[in-house]
Amino acid sequence: MVFVKDCTVKFMFQTLKLVLPALIPSWRFFDTIAPSPRIEFSLIKNKKTPVRNWKIFRPRPVTISFFNMMTRMVWNPRWNDNLFLVSCAERLMQKPTEHSYQEILNRIQADIKESDGFSFVQFRLIFTHREEEILKESETFLSDIHEIHKGEYL
pLDDT value at residue 151: 56
Residues 96, 4 contacting (CB under 8 angstroms):
no
> Which residue ranges in the chain fall short of pLDDT 70?
1-7, 21-23, 25-34, 115, 150-154
pLDDT value at residue 5: 58
pLDDT value at residue 111: 86
Q: ∠ CA(121), CA(125), CA(127), 5° rounding? A: 150
pLDDT value at residue 17: 78
Measured CA distances, 51 to 44, 47, 88 (Å): 7, 9, 23
Taking the CB of residue 136, how many other CB atoms lie within 10 A of it? 10
pLDDT value at residue 30: 59
pTM for the full predicted model: 0.72
Q: Where do the domains of the chain lie? A: 28-147
pLDDT value at residue 125: 93
